[in-house]
Amino acid sequence: MSPTNESIPEPGVTSVLQARNLAKAFGSNVVLRDIDIDIRRGQVVALIGPSGSGKTTVLRSLNGLEIPDGGTVTFGDSDTAGGLSIDFGAKVGKKEIAALRDRSAMVFQHYNLFPHMTVLKNIIEGPVQVQKRPKAEAIAEAERLLERVGLADKRDAYPFELSGGQQQRVGIVRALALKPQLLLFDEPTSALDPELVGDVLGVIKELAEEGWTMVIVTHELAFAQHVADEVIFMDGGVVVERGPAAEVLRAPTQERTKLFVKRLQHDV
């Protein structure tokens, strides 16, 4: 799929996102502690770790679906046109959250398609209703993207008529149609039957090869090793280890990372 992402920064503008000191607690349960993340243009970052380690909360914080208790998220250069910086330690309004969400798009674990809408309507809802793009333009883009993922014949189908793998590919197309600066994937294959995983991972791999900027929460360590530029291992709401995928997954330095990778090493 050729990237039509018009908001990908020009060469020389390497930073897409910086997150600093993200913190989040639900009552007495602290789920994030001082999380720092830097994402460059075209970089793929994989977040790995055991259940409850805070991976999904980080992802949702970058998109504004979860509001951190503290920390900052900055897209691009906040002092130039198109830049944005949000300090979650201050009062954050709906306008700031909307601006944050406009810069990224989420692909959910359980697809989150609108069951009463056709595939085409699911895809064009955001571009037309939120981004106010012309309907004809949004339809043409949706049809092009569906063709690229092998689902052109499903444009008028409803989600219940699709397999899990097909629904997830529609979810990816829906995210791409928003032309975001950053694609966020939350365990995109964990709800799929094993025989359907390959198709979805194949689409994500193509996107990585085409230069899309992505953060992927995944338990597919072999996939992370082959696709991600950087792997971040989290546990207990903190970053335990980070580095190039091959180093973290083949030769981790932290004992907690070693135990986690060893437990799943049959997947690597």
Beta carbons of 24 and 57 less than 8 angstroms apart: yes
* Whole-number pLDDT of residue 79: 57
**Among residues 111, 117, 256, which one has the least CA distance to residue 173?**
111
Work out the mean pLDDT of the chain and round it to a whole number.
Answer: 90
Q: Tens digits of per-residue pLDDT, 182-193? A: 999 999 988 888
Q: Are residues 93 and 32 in the same domain?
A: yes
- Over the stretch 130-154, which tens digit does the pLDDT of each residue have? 999 999 999 999 999 999 999 999 9
pLDDT in tens, 87-114: 998 989 999 999 999 999 999 998 899 9
**Confidence band of 168 (pLDDT split at 50, 70, 90):** very high
Residue 65's domain spans which residues? Answer: 27-103+181-268
Would you say residue 129 lies in a domain?
yes
User: Number of folded domains in the chain?
Assistant: 2
pLDDT in tens, 200-230: 999 999 999 999 999 999 988 989 998 999 9
Do both 83 and 119 map to the same domain?
no
Query: Does residue 211 lie within any of the structural domains?
Result: yes
Q: What is the pLDDT of residue 243?
A: 95
Question: Which residues on neighbouring strands pair with residue 177, listed in sequence order?
Answer: none
DSSP string, 88-121: TTS---HHHHHHHHTTEEEE-TT----TTS-HHH
What percent of the chain clears pLDDT 70, i.e. is strictly above it? 91
* pTM, entire model: 0.89
In a domain, 9, yes or no: no
